[in-house]
Structure 1
Amino acid sequence: MKPTRGSFVSVALTSLHAVTVLADGVGMIGFGKTLYHPTCAFACRNVIRNCRLSCTPTDSTANHGTAHNPVTTPPDCFVRDAAFLRTMAICIDTYCPISDSPPLDLIEDYWVSHLGTGTLGDYQYVPAMSYVDALAAARADEMRLPANSSAGGDNGSGHGGHSHGMRAAHLKSRQFMTEAGPQVSSALPTIKAGAPLNVTSFIAPKDWQKQYNGMLDFEVNENGHSTYSIVIMLVAIFLPVPLSLIRFLPGIAKSPQWSWFQSALIDPAVLGRRHREPAAPGMGIIPTRGQALYIALISILNLVFLLAPYVAHHPQSTFPSLAAQTLSVMGNRAGVMAMGNCVALFLFAARNNVLLWVTDWSCGTYLLLHRWLGYWAVFHTVLHSIMLLGYYNVYGSYQSELARLYWQWGIVGTVAVVAILPSSLLVVRQKIYEFFLASHVVLVLIFIIGYYYHIWYCYQYKWGYEIWAFIAAGIWATDRLARLVRMALGGYRTATVSLVHDTDGEYLRVDVNGVQLSDGVAYLCFPTLSWRFWETHPFSVAFSSLDLKTDSSSGSDTPPTSGPEHEGKETTVEKSNVTVLTSSANFTRPKTTTFFARVRTGVTRALGSRVAGSTQSQSTVIRVLVDGPYPHSGDVRRQLSHCSSTLYLAGGVGITALLPYLLRTTTTATTTTNRQAITSRLFWATRKAGLAAAVGPALAALPAGVEVETVVGQRLDLDGILEKALVHHDREEGGDDGLLGIVVCGPPGMADHVRHKVVQLSRSGLAKRAYVLVDEGFSW
C-alpha cells in the first residue's frame, strides 16, 4: 500500500507514545488513568470484538481479552484485517460526532493504541492503515453500493455516508438509548455481534448505543469509586489539621466561652461519665463528644458515598437490569472504599504518625479513630464480598468465578479482615496483649496480600486499584523502618530491672543506662527476655539522672552516698510526707532514664519473674533496645504554656507520666511578701508506701514553685481539689483568675471522674476560670 500522510502520522504517534506515554495514563481510574477514552470508539470495537475475522485462529483456545470479556482474535490480527479496520473507521466517524465529539488527535491516538488490545492500550500493535486511510477506504466501499442496499436510504453526502450529512445537526449532542437509537444509517451491510466480519460493514445504532450506555456508565461509576474513596481518605487524614489550628487563635485558650464550648461539645464522654473506663467489662471505649463528632462525619461520608451517586442508562450491554447493575456497582464501590479507609487507619496506627506532631492530638485519640476506620473497612469489605457473591449467583456463574485465583485471594482477604474483629476486642487487648499484637500484624498482612493478589489476578496493573495496597503497605513499612532506625541509633543498652521495695512485688523499676530521655513514652524491647524477641512495649518516662539532685542510676530506691565521687554534706529534704536523702556534692552522673511499671501480664510479669529468680538482691541486668520517646498526649508543654497555674492529679504509677512536666516547671512570679508563688500543685495517691519512697528523689528535685501532696493508702478528694482550683481559688495562696491547666494520669475511673467534674463545673457556670484538660492516659 502506498504511504500516505495518515500513515506517517500513525507511525509518528506510535513512536512518540511508545517511549513516553502509557495509552491509558498512570494512576487510578479518574485520576490519571482512563478506561474508555473516547467512549464512542470503544463502543464500536466492543460490538465487533467477538466477530470472526479472516485471520482469527480456528483451533486456538487462547483468551486475548479478560476473564469476564474473553476474546479469541489475537491483537495482531485486529490491526491487519482490512474489514475490521474499515468497519471501525466508519463507525467512529458515524457515532463519535453525535456523542463524545472527540478531536481528531484523540481518535488517532486511540487508533494506534487500542485497536489491537481493546481496553488496555498498547502501542506495539501498529494498524496496517491509519484512521484517515481506513475511513477513506470505508467511504469508498460505501459509495460503490446502491443507496437502498441496506436498511438506510439516501446517504445525503458526497462521500455516500449519511453520518457526514447528519454531523452538523448532531455535533456535540449526547443521545442515550432510545427504542430506535441514533438516527443514522448506511448503505453498507449491517454487522451483528459475533457474526463473521469479512467486508466493510455498518454497526447498527441500537447495537452501538447499548455498548455506549454500558461503557459510559461503567467508567463514570468507576471514577466515582476512586473519587469518593480518595475523599474519605483525605478527609479522615487531614480533617484534624484545620481543627487543631483553632488552638492558635489569639486568646482562645483563656476565653470562658471556649471553656464552656469544650465542656459541652469536646471533653465530655458522648454518653454517661465513662470514657477511659469501658462501658462494660471487656467492651469498647466510649469516645468523647469531640471524638464522636469526627467519627460521625466520617461515618456519614462512608454511608452517603456508598449509596450515591451512580449513573444508570438502560438497556445497555454491561448489565441486563438495574438490579444487576446496583449489585455489581455498589459492591465494587464498597471494595474500593474499604481501601480508602485502610490507608487512613494505617497512618493513625503508626507510632511515627506525623499528625501527632502537626495536630497535637493524643495517641489515644488516633488509636480510637483507627479502630472506627477499621470498622468501616471491615464493613465495606464484607459488603463487597456479599454483593458480588449475590451478583454472580443470580446473574453470572459463581462456580466459574470460584475457580479463578482472583476470587480465591478475595476470600483470603475477606476472611483475614473479619478475623481481625474478635482478635482486637478490648478484653483480648487487655488480657493477652501480645497475642492481640501478633495476630493483628499477621492478619493485616494477610489482608493486604489478599487484596493485592485479588486485584492483580483480575486486572494486573491495568486499572490502578493496586495503588491502594502500595500506599497502605508503604505507610506500614515506613513506620517499621523508622522504628528500627531509631532503635539502631540508640544502640544496644543495658537495663537494671528491680522490684520496688515495700510494694509486695507489684511495681518494677527499670533504669536504662546510656539513654537520656526527657518525657513521653518509650517502647522498650528486651530481645533476651523471651522467644518473642521482636516485641516492644510502651513505658512512660519518669525521669533521667540529670533531672535529679542525686545519682539515680544504681537502680536502688535511694541514691548511693558512699565513695569518693559522693563526698559532701548530706541533708534531709521533706516534701509533704515523703522523706528522702539527698547529697549536696557535685559528681559525675552517667546518662540514665528511669521507668516505673505495675506488674500485670505479659512483659511486666516476665520481667518480674526474671528479677524474682535472680541471685542478686531483687534486681537483674538485661539487654534492651529503646524506640522513642514519642508524645502520647500531644505537646503537653505547649498546651500548658498559656496557663498561669497547673494542677496535676496522679494515681499510682500514673505519677511517672507527670514527673517530666513537673521537673521542668518554670516559676516566674513572687508575692509581695517575697515568697515564691505556687504555680503548680501535685496531688498524688498511691496504695504502696514503697512506690512513694522510690519516686521520692524526683519529688525532692521539683522546683520550688511546685507544691506536692502525697497520700498513701487512701483516695484523693478529687471533687474538693477541683472545686478549690476552679471555683474557690485563693489569690493569697498563689491563686489567680488566669488559665488553669489540669493534667490527670491514673486509673481509668479516676481520669473519668476528673473529666466529668471539670466539665460539670464549667457548664454549670460555677467555674471562675478557663481550663485546659490533659488526660495522660495511654491506651491501645
Structure 2
Amino acid sequence: MWSSTTMPALAIVLSALSFLPSTSATVPLEGYGRDSYPVPCAQACSYAMPYNLDCPEYAGMTAEEKAAAYPSAACFSNDTSYLTSMAYCIHSYCPKNVKIYKVENFWETLMIYQSESIRWSYPEALAQVNTTTAPKPMSPEETVFNRTISIDAAIYQSYMNGVKGYQAVAKNESKYSLLAFMTCVMVPIGFSLLRFLPLPTSFRSKVYGYLIDPPAWGKQHSVATLGIGMVPTRGQALFILYLIGINCLATFEGYPNYTPNGIYPDRHYELMRHIGNRAGAIAFANIPIVILYAGRSSVLLRLTNWSYSTFLLLHRWTATICVVQVALHSLLWLRIMIEGHSYPLVLTYPYWYVGVVGTVFFSALIPFSMLPIRKILYEVFLITHIALTVGALVASWYHIVFLYEDTSGFEIWLIIAFAFWGLERLLRILRISKYGIKKAYVTRIDDKYLRVDIPDVDAHGHCFAYFPTLSWRVWENHPFSIVNCSKGQLDGESVIPSSASHTQSENEGAISPTEASASKEMGGAMSNIRQLRVHSNTTKPGITLFVQNLRGMTAKLAKKAGTGIAIPVLIESSYGHEDTSRFEPNTEYRNTLVISGGVGIAGVLSSLQASLSMYAKPLGTTKLYWGIKSQGLVDVVKSMIVGGDAAEEKEGGESSNWGHIETHVSVGERMDIKRVLTTELENAIGGTTVVVCGPHAMCDEARYVCAALARHGVVVRYVEESFTW
C-alpha cells in the first residue's frame, strides 16, 4: 500500500522530520531495558493512597467541588498527611530486600507526577511516623485526608495485583512487538532457505505443484479478480496466513487476569484499554516492515530471492493489517472516552486530535490504493500515497510525543521506518549517480514498438529510466529489461549490451516486466539478458530499450523518434535476479522451455542465454515459443541473437533454429499454451525449467498447467517473469 514511490518522497520526509523533536531522548521498550514500575510495592502504595487532600488551592470551593477536584503536584509534594502515609505504606509492605536507593529514587521521580521538589525525602517522611504503632486506616466517614493513615492489606493487595497486571501486559506488549517485527524479517529468509534442501526433484516438483505455484484458489493469479485484486499463489498465501496469524496473536494474547484488581476493577474495561494499547503498539512495529517490503533495494530481495512482486504483495497485506490495528486502537479508545464521559475534554488534548489526524491518514491509504485507482489514476494514487504516508507517520510521531513526552519507546519503530525509507532513497540516488546524465536516441521499429539506444551505459538485469525533459514530473521513472547476448564475443565483433521492453499490461493490476505501463509504473521485475548478439563494428556500446508505443511517456518518446536528437536520461541500475542459477541448466533441470507473448520476449531472453554454452553442447533442449502480433520486433530480436544475415523466420508457427534455440514463432496467431506445455513436458528427457513472460492470462494458464503436470509426476521448475503491482 505504501509503495516504493518516487524521489521527492525523500525530500518530503526529510522536510517533515526537520520539524520533529530530537530523537536523543529515545528510551528502550517496556520490559526490555525500561521499567515504569521499578518498585512495584511503592507503586501499589501510590495507587492505594486516597487523594482527597485539603489543598491550599481548594480555598473557596464548595464541598462538592472539593470532592471532584484532584490535587496539584505541589499539594501532594507538601502535604504532611500524604507524605507520612506513603512513607508508612512503603515501610510496611515493601520487602526488606528492596534497595533503599530504589525507594528513594521512586520517591523523588515517580511518586508524584510533574513534581519539582518534595518537602521531605523518604527517610525524613518516615521519621515523622511512629512505626511501632500502626496508624488507623481512613474510615468512610472521613471526607478529608488530613492525618497519617495505614492501607488495609486487602486494599493494598488489590492494587498490587493491578501493578503486576500492568507489568505483565506491558512486557508482553514489547515482546509481541519484537516478535512481529523480527519474524516478519527472518521468516521469509528461513522459508527461502528450504530451497537448498537436498530433496529429489520429483518430490520437489510435487511440493511446488501442490503448495507453492498454483493460485490459492481458482485458476487466476496475475489477472485481477473482479478488477479489485490478485489472488496470491499458495506459497504467498501461506506466508500471508502467517502474517495474519502472528499479528492476531500479538494483538490479542497475553493479558493475565490478576484479581481482585484495584486499578481496573472492571475486567471488560481493563481489556479494552490493554487491547487498544496493544493494537497501537503492534501497528507501530509493523510500520518498518511495510516500508521494508516496499523497497526495490531491500536486502530481503537478495537474501530470499523472492520476487519484487511477491514483496509488494506482502507490503499491501502488511499495510492493510497495520491500518486495521490503527483503526482498532482508535475505536477502542473512542469507546473508552465516550463511556467515561471524557470525550469533550479529550478533544482539547493535542495527543488526541493529532492521533485522529493520523488515523484518518492511515485509513485513507486503503481506498486510495485500490487497484482501479492505481490502474486508471496512477498519478493521483502516487501523489496521494506519498502525502498520506508522510502525514500518517508524522502524526504518529507527534501522537506519542504529546502523550508520553519521549518516555514510551514507541518512537524507535518510527526511527527504524524512517531509516529504511531514507536508505532506500539513498541507494537509488547512488545507483543513478553511477552513470550520471546520459543521452538517449529514439528510433521506430514499426507502428507498435520504439527502440531507445543509450550509449556509454554498462548495466545488467533491469533498470529504471528517468526522462526529465519529457514531463514536469522529473522524478518519474520507468522500468526496463536490460538484454545482453553476444555472438560478437565469438565472432570477434563488437558487443552491445542491449535491449529491454516496457509496455502496458493487457490485464488489470499486474504487468509483466516487459509489459509495464510506461506512463504509470514506477517499478518492476525485469530480466537480465547478458550480451545480446549484434553484427556491428561501429555501434557504440550501451543499452537498448524496447518500448511499446502507447500513451503518456511512450507517446512523448514516439515524438522524438527519427529526429536524431538526443534526449537526457538517467539510469538507475542494476536490478534483477540475485540468483541467476535458476535459469542455468543442470543435471536435474537440463531442459529450458521459454514461452513469451508479445514484447515479453525481452523478459525471457536471459533464460535463453543461460541455457547456452559457448564451449560445449547444451545439457538438454532449449526451446522458445513466441506469440506476437507483428513481425518487426521478431526480426530485430532474431538479428540480435543469430545475426542480421540469418535466414528469415518461418511464418504460421513453424519452427526454426536460432543457434542452439529451437524457435516457434506465431505471428498473428494465438498459442495453445496447454498443448505446448503438455507435449513438451511429458516428452522431455529430464527436468525442465519453464520460463514465461507475456499477457497475464497467458501466464496464469501456463502456471496452472505446469502445477497440474507437476502434481502428476512431471519434473518441472516454473519461473514467471512478471511484475504484479
When the two structures are superposed, what TM-score results if normalisation uses the length of structure 1? 0.75
Amino acid at match of 2:102: D
Q: Name the structure 2 match of 1:574.
A: none
Q: Name the structure 1 match of 2:164.
A: 216
2:493 is the counterpart of 1:537:
no
Separation (CA, whole Å) in 1 of partners of 2:499 and 2:173: 58
Using a 3 Å threshold, how does the CA distance of structure 1 residues 700 and 725 change in structure 2: closer, same or farther? same
Separation (CA, whole Å) in 1 of partners of 2:381 and 2:681: 41
Separation (CA, whole Å) in 2 of partners of 1:38 and 1:368: 46
Measured after TM superposition, the shift of residue 679 of structure 1 is 4.0
Measured after TM superposition, the shift of residue 206 of structure 1 is 4.5
Q: Name the structure 2 match of 1:713.
A: 668
Are the counterparts in 1 of residues 548 and 554 from structure 2 also a CA contact under 8 Å?
no
Cα deviation digits, residues 68-119 of structure 1 (max 9, x gap): x9761249x73x776554433321232223xxx7x332x5224225534448
Q: Name the structure 1 match of 2:527.
A: none
Are the counterparts in 2 of residues 60 and 72 from structure 1 also a CA contact under 8 Å?
no
Residue 279 of structure 1 aligns to a residue whose secondary structure is coil
Residue 218 of structure 2 aligns to a residue whose secondary structure is coil
Using a 3 Å threshold, how does the CA distance of structure 1 residues 91 and 742 change in structure 2: closer, same or farther? same
Q: Name the structure 2 match of 1:509.
A: 451
Are the counterparts in 1 of residues 73 and 113 from structure 2 also a CA contact under 8 Å?
no
Separation (CA, whole Å) in 2 of partners of 1:192 and 1:42: 23
2:696 is the counterpart of 1:748:
yes
The structure 2 residue matched to 1:635, chosen from 579, 588, 597, is 579
Are the counterparts in 1 of residues 135 and 148 from structure 2 also a CA contact under 8 Å?
no
Q: How does 1:123-134 map to 2 (within 5 A)?
A: 128-129=120-121, 131=123, 134=125
Separation (CA, whole Å) in 1 of partners of 2:488 and 2:73: 78
Separation (CA, whole Å) in 1 of partners of 2:464 and 2:150: 71
Measured after TM superposition, the shift of residue 425 of structure 1 is 1.2
Are the counterparts in 1 of residues 428 and 572 from structure 2 also a CA contact under 8 Å?
yes
2:108 is the counterpart of 1:115:
yes
Separation (CA, whole Å) in 2 of partners of 1:409 and 1:226: 24
Separation (CA, whole Å) in 2 of partners of 1:84 and 1:556: 78
| RMSD between superposed Cα atoms in Å | 3.5
2:637 is the counterpart of 1:695:
yes
Separation (CA, whole Å) in 2 of partners of 1:70 and 1:465: 29
Amino acid at match of 2:375: Q
Separation (CA, whole Å) in 2 of partners of 1:545 and 1:533: 34
2:465 is the counterpart of 1:524:
yes
Residue 644 of structure 1 aligns to a residue whose secondary structure is strand
Residue 705 of structure 2 aligns to a residue whose secondary structure is helix
Using a 3 Å threshold, how does the CA distance of structure 1 residues 771 and 403 change in structure 2: closer, same or farther? same
Cα deviation digits, residues 225-263 of structure 1 (max 9, x gap): 22222212222221111111112223x3x5201111110
Separation (CA, whole Å) in 1 of partners of 2:360 and 2:381: 17
Q: Name the structure 2 match of 1:13.
A: none
Using a 3 Å threshold, how does the CA distance of structure 1 residues 641 and 274 change in structure 2: closer, same or farther? same
The structure 1 residue matched to 2:150, chosen from 202, 225, 237, is 202
2:227 is the counterpart of 1:226:
no
The structure 2 residue matched to 1:684, chosen from 610, 618, 626, is 626
The structure 2 residue matched to 1:290, chosen from 232, 235, 240, is 235
Separation (CA, whole Å) in 2 of partners of 1:304 and 1:53: 47
Measured after TM superposition, the shift of residue 57 of structure 1 is 6.1
Separation (CA, whole Å) in 2 of partners of 1:425 and 1:645: 40
Amino acid at match of 1:142: T
Q: How does 1:370-769 map to 2 (within 5 A)?
A: 370-499=315-444, 501-502=445-446, 504=447, 506-519=448-461, 521-543=462-484, 583=535, 586=537, 590-601=540-551, 605-612=552-559, 614=560, 617=562, 620-631=565-576, 635-638=579-582, 640=584, 642=586, 643-667=589-613, 679-700=621-642, 704-729=659-684, 736-737=685-686, 739-765=687-713, 767=714
Amino acid at match of 1:276: S
Structure with the larger RCO, 1 or 2 (CA within 8 Å, 6+ apart) = 2
Q: Name the structure 2 match of 1:272.
A: 218
Separation (CA, whole Å) in 2 of partners of 1:312 and 1:695: 70
Amino acid at match of 1:380: Q
Separation (CA, whole Å) in 1 of partners of 2:214 and 2:498: 43
Amino acid at match of 2:671: L
Measured after TM superposition, the shift of residue 592 of structure 1 is 0.9
Q: Name the structure 2 match of 1:571.
A: none
Are the counterparts in 2 of residues 90 and 202 from structure 1 also a CA contact under 8 Å?
yes
Measured after TM superposition, the shift of residue 213 of structure 1 is 3.1
What percentage of aligned pairs have identical amino acids?
30
Separation (CA, whole Å) in 2 of partners of 1:706 and 1:201: 94
Q: Name the structure 2 match of 1:169.
A: none
2:208 is the counterpart of 1:256:
no
Using a 3 Å threshold, how does the CA distance of structure 1 residues 594 and 25 change in structure 2: closer, same or farther? closer
Separation (CA, whole Å) in 1 of partners of 2:637 and 2:388: 41
Are the counterparts in 2 of residues 525 and 626 from structure 1 also a CA contact under 8 Å?
yes
Are the counterparts in 1 of residues 628 and 667 from structure 2 also a CA contact under 8 Å?
yes
2:257 is the counterpart of 1:307:
no
Deviates more, 1:306-315 or 1:538-547: 538-547
Amino acid at match of 1:771: V
Are the counterparts in 1 of residues 499 and 546 from structure 2 also a CA contact under 8 Å?
no
Measured after TM superposition, the shift of residue 754 of structure 1 is 0.8
Are the counterparts in 2 of residues 30 and 226 from structure 1 also a CA contact under 8 Å?
yes
Separation (CA, whole Å) in 1 of partners of 2:363 and 2:254: 28
